[in-house]
Chain A
Amino acid sequence: SYEVTQPLSVSVALGQTARITCAGNNIGSKNVHWYQQKPGQAPVLVIYRDTNRPSVIPARMSGSNSGNTATLTISRAQAGDEADYYCQVWDSSVIFGGGTKLTVL
Chain B
Amino acid sequence: QVQLQESGPGLVKPSETLSLTCTVSGDSISSYYWSWIRQPPGKGLEWLGYIYYTGITNYNASLQSRVTISIATSRNQFSLTLSSVTTADTAIYYCAHGRDYFFDYWGQGTLVTVSS
Q: Which residues of A contact B (CB under 8 A)?
A: 1, 31, 33, 35, 41-45, 48-49, 54, 86, 88, 90, 93-99
Q: Are B44 and A96 in contact (CB under 8 A)?
A: yes
* CA of A45 to CA of B101, assembled, Å: 12
Q: A42-B109, A96-B46 are in contact. Are A48 and B60 (CB under 8 A)?
A: no
- How far is the CB of A2 from the nearest CB of chain B, in Å? 12
Contact, CB under 8 Å: A48 / B102:
yes
Taking the closest CB of chain A, its distance from the CB of B111, in whole angstroms, is: 11
In the complex the two chains form, what is the Cα distance from A80 to B89 in whole Å?
A: 31
Given contacts A44-B106, A93-B61, contact A98 B44 (CB under 8 A): yes
Q: Is the CB of A96 within 8 A of B104?
A: no
B106 / chain A contacts, CB cutoff of 8 Å: 42-44
**A98–B58 alpha-carbon span in the complex (Å):** 22
Which of A45, A54, A86 sits near B44, CB closer than 8 Å? A86
B47 A96 Cβ-Cβ under 8 A: yes
Given contacts A86-B44, A93-B61, A96-B47, contact A45 B104 (CB under 8 A): yes
Give the Cβ gap from B1 to chain A, nearest Cβ, in Å. 10
Known A45-B102, A48-B104; judge A86-B109 contact (CB<8 A): no
Give me 16 other A-B pairs in contact (C-beta within 8 A), A42-B108, A86-B45, A96-B44 excluded: A1-B61, A31-B101, A42-B94, A42-B106, A43-B45, A43-B94, A43-B106, A44-B106, A48-B100, A48-B102, A54-B104, A88-B102, A93-B47, A93-B60, A94-B60, A95-B47
**What 1/0 flags go to B72-116 for Cβ under 8 Å of A?**
000000000000000000000010000011111011110000000
Cross-chain pairs A/B with CB under 8 angstroms, 27 sampled: A31-B100, A33-B101, A33-B103, A35-B45, A42-B94, A42-B106, A42-B109, A43-B45, A43-B103, A43-B106, A44-B106, A45-B102, A45-B103, A45-B104, A49-B102, A54-B104, A93-B58, A93-B60, A93-B61, A94-B47, A95-B47, A96-B44, A96-B45, A96-B46, A96-B47, A98-B44, A99-B44
